[in-house]
Structure 1
Amino acid sequence: MSKYMIWSRPTEAPVAEREVPAEKTAADKEAAITNDGAKTPGDDSYDSDAISVNAQAGVQNVEAFAKVWTKRDLILAYVTIWCIFFVDAMQQGMSTQLTPYVTSSFQSHSLTAATSIFSSLIGGLFKLPLAKILDIWGRPQGFVAMMISLTIGLIMMAGCNSVETYAAGQVFYWMGYNGITYSISIFIADTSALKNRALMFAFASSPYIITVWIGGPLATAFLNGPGFRWGFGAFAIITPIICSPLMALFYFNYKKARRQGLIPDRNSGRTWSESIKYYIIEFDVAGLFLITAGLAFFLLPFSLYSYQAQGWRAPIIIAFFVVGGLLLIGFVLFEKYVAPKTFMPYELLMDRTVLWACILSGVLFISFYIWDSYFSSFLQVVNNLNVTQTSYVMNIYSIGSCFWSLLVGVAVRWSGRFKWLAVYFGVPVTILGVGLMAHFRQPDVNVGYIIMCQIFIAVAGGTLVICEQMAAMAATTHQYIAVVLAVEGMFANVGGAIGSTVAGAIWNGVFPQRLAEYLPAESQGDLVSIYGSLPTQLSYPVGSPTRIAIQHAYGEAQKIMIIASTVLQAISLVAVIMWRDIKVKDFKQVKGLVV
């Protein structure tokens, strides 16, 4: 294991865990976090190793796990986590390369961005109910449920016979994929000291450094061999197998904690009907439905309007906007006046560090998906790269950000702070990298300049993602870790959906018009098929008038996307400036045997 991983079963802590009740104001929470009035190990009310009696059952269970597992168990858990991330990252990298070919097989290449909108929304918004599952029922239960969802999604994508079925499969897949990574992130937060947590998050994401080189060749092998369906089907078998050891480890330590009396029998006394009603309220099912459906109805028209003869004036497009707007208004009114349990933990968002960390997360994903949605197709059509080469360029962000995040984790552990990394390095380098792409992502520009921009964005992204998660977690206590990471993840996924929407709107508004303008007369009759299919675009020889016309249409659409993406980064700078400069070495947040 890394020399920076320090194993300890603390009996005394230099500074106590900060318990910040939800009903306190943001000023009270800030005072608690900055040591004002904090309990100390000498206080009678403080026990650094006792299970939190006021915490929810899932939090109590994981603290009981931490009291009974051995160093060997914890090492085995982290090794298994690394393997799960490796397989999921390999599959996800392959899936990204296969998606344009899946949509093109149904003559719907322009819907590449649209297929991810609803799945991004569900994947992000579901994290808040999942946070409650993890806190109320337990970490293992949530992990298993998400593994089942991911497997169902892979099966649906493998058997899809339309873009609609593929998009539905993506909903289950991304809900499961995001849920697994989120559940594991919570486990890492449960089992690591705050000063080491950035390094542990970086360790968990380090498989991307390897899988970068596998996703493209794997996608190529399936496309040239059994087809994209087997690409998804194979991982529907592999994923449950690779997740099994961690589930067994959870089960073994759960039984061990039960035998030692650390996990008591819990009987709610409710009937089945009462339990159903209780969980419908507890998970705010109505609120979840309203915001998910509202955002989906409101965002989808931006990608679908070009398929309507009347464009924006088409009745179905207008209906989508009206229904979506009404559902979003209904969500706000329901949450304010009706909901017994609110969907969003607004009291946590009162803390400015948590709020602006979430805003940064959303902005980064909006910006990323605006310039990334059609990047794979651009590299193949404009730069004439094959699928494998495209995957290498596409994954520079993954390999660079994951490698760099290890260095960021070391820097946070060494300095005990994270804000300075975001303010003086993360945001400025992101603006530089994204802004330069407006000039370099054009026809007749050497792909090396694009690679340079990707490296800038990668090291900056590796800094900002770690720092934003540290900001959200450092501003609260262990009991609320699952919730704040869920809110941060929700902002990220909704941001991804908005980014895909903006990308789709720009693409559908610019690309077909420029294509019609630039295509030579002999290719005008093929406009629809060229617009709708990546293989058709690639079928024209490099240097031919039609291929040059397609490349110039790509360049103009990409330039507008990148300018929009760059302008958004101004919000990122405001966000990181608004954080409190919390010193993570100053307080203890978790109990038991931790890293």
Structure 2
Amino acid sequence: MAPETVDHKEKVDIDVEDVDKGAVPADTNSVTKPAGLADLDGIQRSWSLRTLVVIWTFALLLSFSTNLNNQTSASFTSYATSDFASASLLGTITVVQAVASSVALQPLARLADVYGRFEMFLFSVMLITIGEIMTASSKTVSVYAGAQVFWAFGYIGISLMLQILAGDSSDMYNRAIFSAIPLAPSIITCWIAGPVAAGILKSTWRWGFGMFAVMIPALSLPLLMSLYINKRKGTQLRKAEGTYVPVNHVQNFLQLDPLGLLLLAAGLSLLLIPISLASSNTSTWKEGHTIAELVVGGVCLLALPLWETKFARWPVFPKTIFNNRTVVFGLLAMVVNYAGLYLLQSYLLYYEMVAADLSVNAATNLYMLIPFGGSLGQFLSGFVVKYLKRYKWVVVSGYAMIVLGMGLSYKYIDAHGHMAPLVVAQLIAGLGAGVIATTQFGIQASVSQAGECLKALLSNNPVPEE
């Protein structure tokens, strides 16, 4: 039986006291439903249990491979830049990659809504494969840096599509569980990434990227084939019903809201890159290009809400979404969660190696406790939400756990004689971070399919990883 599209009644029944009773209407500012969402209606009706088993089996394998790729790549980057005699550029490459990952979120999610799930999955796999091939074969640091941008876009695209797939293939009662499934492989990969990287480095760092250039496309092929077959079935079903509309490429392009995406991407890039790079060299703040980038970036971000609310026909951020208190407070909750975790975790690995005299392996294992606990906490909280059919107090309990975990971590941060309490504290904080990720469930219950872009942004991994 194909999963049913969640209707308004189901959203309200899930948690009457927490979800606004007026779900955000679909496409209030548009005349025509985005082609990707129109295709999705037919795809969902053509799904069978066997199809979903195949899709999710290979989705988990793909998630396992991309997680392992992400967690091992940091180990290879320093060796690569050393080979190019450009170790000083390591920080710059890391910053550019991080900014590219942040900027890619909204455009890629928007592409999935407008052009379709299969198309976006295929595009993301192509990007990450190109990035891996370029990285493995790079002869100069400039080629290596450019490859990292391709890789970042592809990795973020696959991560987003797995989260969107979780939403598409589940009803609201099971949404919290399905959203945690793509994160499940990181429970394993966070512990094997170190030994795998060490084994590969005995040969050459290039194999660390080259093997994923083969592994990721191979594992994604069955998943892509299943999505394509069901897309064809859905199209045939809609043609038989007389609801099929031929693709209008001009309209699809306009539905992307290209100016809105450009303002968003330019604003974030021109602000985040100079701020990140200038933080390590205070004299950079006085340079003309830094000032110009900050001014232009700020103007772009200020112009974005004006364009979105006054002129955009298909806005990236429909204002009706931000009139919903569940969405607004959910966003604030996630921001607080990110800020708290990164303030603690950014220096934990290096602090424990220096102040507590831990080995690299021991410090890395300690650092990995929060990603491990986060994946486990989100998965377990999904079951709690499913059976309690309430999520507010689940999220509140997550904040209680993370406050307790972070407080104990600061208390026992000097691991001399306090290793066991510090390990427990990190596990508690990680579990709390995973539970807090259930916030996305309440947001998804408050928006329609037209809010898939926002859902995807909030479904990203809520805990830091190496």
Normalized against structure 2, the TM-score is what? 0.83
Q: How does 1:135-534 map to 2 (within 5 A)?
A: 135-160=113-138, 165-227=143-205, 229-260=206-237, 261=240, 266-268=245-247, 275=249, 278-305=251-278, 308=281, 310-336=283-309, 338-423=311-396, 425-442=397-414, 444=416, 446-465=418-437, 467-477=438-448, 479-488=449-458
Structure 1, 58-67 or 442-451: larger mean CA deviation: 442-451
CA contact (8 A) 1:405 1:463 kept: yes
CA contact (8 A) 2:135 2:148 kept: yes
Q: How does 1:531-542 map to 2 (within 5 A)?
A: none
What amino acid is the match of 1:345?
Answer: P
Decide whether aligned partners of structure 1 residues 251 and 455 sit closer, same or farther in structure 2, where only a CA change above 3 A counts.
Answer: same
Q: Tell me, in whole angstroms, the C-alpha distance in 2 between the residues paired with 1:17 and 1:437.
A: 40
Decide whether aligned partners of structure 1 residues 431 and 89 sit closer, same or farther in structure 2, where only a CA change above 3 A counts.
Answer: same
Please state whether the residue corresponding to 1:192 is helix, strand or coil: coil
Whichever of the two has the greater Rg, that structure is 1
Q: Tell me, in whole angstroms, the C-alpha distance in 2 between the residues paired with 1:262 and 1:219.
A: 53
Q: How does 1:89-108 map to 2 (within 5 A)?
A: 89-102=67-80
Deviation at 1:405, TM superposition (A): 2.3
Unaligned runs of 5+ in 2: 13-18, 26-30
What amino acid is the match of 1:224?
Answer: K
Q: Tell me, in whole angstroms, the C-alpha distance in 2 between the residues paired with 1:99 and 1:435.
A: 33
Deviation at 1:357, TM superposition (A): 1.3
Unaligned runs of 5+ in 1: 1-6, 20-28, 39-52, 501-595
Decide whether aligned partners of structure 1 residues 138 and 323 sit closer, same or farther in structure 2, where only a CA change above 3 A counts.
Answer: closer
Decide whether aligned partners of structure 1 residues 391 and 225 sit closer, same or farther in structure 2, where only a CA change above 3 A counts.
Answer: farther
Q: Tell me, in whole angstroms, the C-alpha distance in 1 between the residues paired with 2:342 and 2:78.
A: 15
Deviation at 1:362, TM superposition (A): 2.9
Q: Tell me, in whole angstroms, the C-alpha distance in 2 between the residues paired with 1:72 and 1:86.
A: 21
Q: Give CA deviations for 1:556-575 in whole Å, capped at 9, x if unaligned.
A: xxxxxxxxxxxxxxxxxxxx
Deviation at 1:195, TM superposition (A): 1.1
Deviation at 1:417, TM superposition (A): 0.7
Q: Tell me, in whole angstroms, the C-alpha distance in 1 between the residues paired with 2:457 and 2:413.
A: 34
Deviation at 1:286, TM superposition (A): 2.7
Q: Give CA deviations for 1:323-376 in whole Å, capped at 9, x if unaligned.
A: 333333344444455544433222212101012212222332333334334444
Decide whether aligned partners of structure 1 residues 121 and 357 sit closer, same or farther in structure 2, where only a CA change above 3 A counts.
Answer: farther
Q: Tell me, in whole angstroms, the C-alpha distance in 1 between the residues paired with 2:93 and 2:242.
A: 43
Q: Give CA deviations for 1:439-483 in whole Å, capped at 9, x if unaligned.
A: 433485654444233212111011011x11101111123x23513
Q: Tell me, in whole angstroms, the C-alpha distance in 2 between the residues paired with 1:408 and 1:208.
A: 17
Equivalent in 105, 108, 117 of residue 130 of structure 1: 108
CA contact (8 A) 1:258 1:264 kept: no
Deviation at 1:485, TM superposition (A): 0.8
Deviation at 1:292, TM superposition (A): 2.1
Q: How does 1:539-554 map to 2 (within 5 A)?
A: none
Q: Tell me, in whole angstroms, the C-alpha distance in 2 between the residues paired with 1:58 and 1:333.
A: 27
Q: Tell me, in whole angstroms, the C-alpha distance in 1 between the residues paired with 2:417 and 2:274.
A: 34
Deviation at 1:115, TM superposition (A): 3.9
Deviation at 1:89, TM superposition (A): 1.4
Decide whether aligned partners of structure 1 residues 65 and 328 sit closer, same or farther in structure 2, where only a CA change above 3 A counts.
Answer: closer
Deviation at 1:187, TM superposition (A): 1.6
The alignment-based identity, stated in percent, is 27
Decide whether aligned partners of structure 1 residues 105 and 288 sit closer, same or farther in structure 2, where only a CA change above 3 A counts.
Answer: farther
Please state whether the residue corresponding to 1:31 is helix, strand or coil: coil
Q: Tell me, in whole angstroms, the C-alpha distance in 1 between the residues paired with 2:10 and 2:23.
A: 9
Structure 1, 203-212 or 345-354: larger mean CA deviation: 203-212
What amino acid is the match of 1:247?
Answer: L
Deviation at 1:379, TM superposition (A): 4.5
Q: Tell me, in whole angstroms, the C-alpha distance in 2 between the residues paired with 1:165 and 1:119.
A: 13
Aligned twin of 1:48: none
What amino acid is the match of 1:482?
Answer: E
CA contact (8 A) 2:129 2:213 kept: yes
Aligned twin of 2:28: none
Deviation at 1:211, TM superposition (A): 1.4
Q: Tell me, in whole angstroms, the C-alpha distance in 1 between the residues paired with 2:32 and 2:265.
A: 32
Aligned twin of 2:16: none
Please state whether the residue corresponding to 2:173 is helix, strand or coil: helix
Deviation at 1:104, TM superposition (A): 6.2
Structure 1, 107-116 or 357-366: larger mean CA deviation: 107-116
CA contact (8 A) 1:113 1:374 kept: no
CA contact (8 A) 1:123 1:179 kept: no
Decide whether aligned partners of structure 1 residues 309 and 30 sit closer, same or farther in structure 2, where only a CA change above 3 A counts.
Answer: closer
Q: Tell me, in whole angstroms, the C-alpha distance in 1 between the residues paired with 2:420 and 2:82.
A: 28
Q: Tell me, in whole angstroms, the C-alpha distance in 1 between the residues paired with 2:84 and 2:451.
A: 43
Decide whether aligned partners of structure 1 residues 362 and 148 sit closer, same or farther in structure 2, where only a CA change above 3 A counts.
Answer: farther
Decide whether aligned partners of structure 1 residues 177 and 79 sit closer, same or farther in structure 2, where only a CA change above 3 A counts.
Answer: same
Q: Tell me, in whole angstroms, the C-alpha distance in 1 between the residues paired with 2:183 and 2:270.
A: 33
Q: Give CA deviations for 1:69-88 in whole Å, capped at 9, x if unaligned.
A: 32211111121111111111
Aligned twin of 1:526: none
What amino acid is the match of 1:432?
Answer: L
CA contact (8 A) 1:297 1:321 kept: yes
CA contact (8 A) 2:4 2:44 kept: no
What amino acid is the match of 1:267?
Answer: P
Q: Tell me, in whole angstroms, the C-alpha distance in 2 between the residues paired with 1:264 and 1:237.
A: 40
Deviation at 1:427, TM superposition (A): 0.9
CA contact (8 A) 1:117 1:296 kept: no
Q: Tell me, in whole angstroms, the C-alpha distance in 2 between the residues paired with 1:306 and 1:16.
A: 50
Please state whether the residue corresponding to 2:170 is helix, strand or coil: coil
CA contact (8 A) 2:402 2:433 kept: yes
What amino acid is the match of 1:249?
Answer: S
CA contact (8 A) 1:151 1:239 kept: yes
Aligned twin of 1:60: 38
Decide whether aligned partners of structure 1 residues 314 and 453 sit closer, same or farther in structure 2, where only a CA change above 3 A counts.
Answer: farther
Number of residue-to-residue matches in the alignment: 453
What amino acid is the match of 2:285?
Answer: W
Q: Tell me, in whole angstroms, the C-alpha distance in 2 between the residues paired with 1:453 and 1:99.
A: 30
Decide whether aligned partners of structure 1 residues 168 and 89 sit closer, same or farther in structure 2, where only a CA change above 3 A counts.
Answer: same
Equivalent in 4, 17, 20 of residue 30 of structure 1: 20
Q: Tell me, in whole angstroms, the C-alpha distance in 2 between the residues paired with 1:463 and 1:358.
A: 15
Q: Tell me, in whole angstroms, the C-alpha distance in 2 between the residues paired with 1:292 and 1:83.
A: 31
Decide whether aligned partners of structure 1 residues 404 and 328 sit closer, same or farther in structure 2, where only a CA change above 3 A counts.
Answer: closer
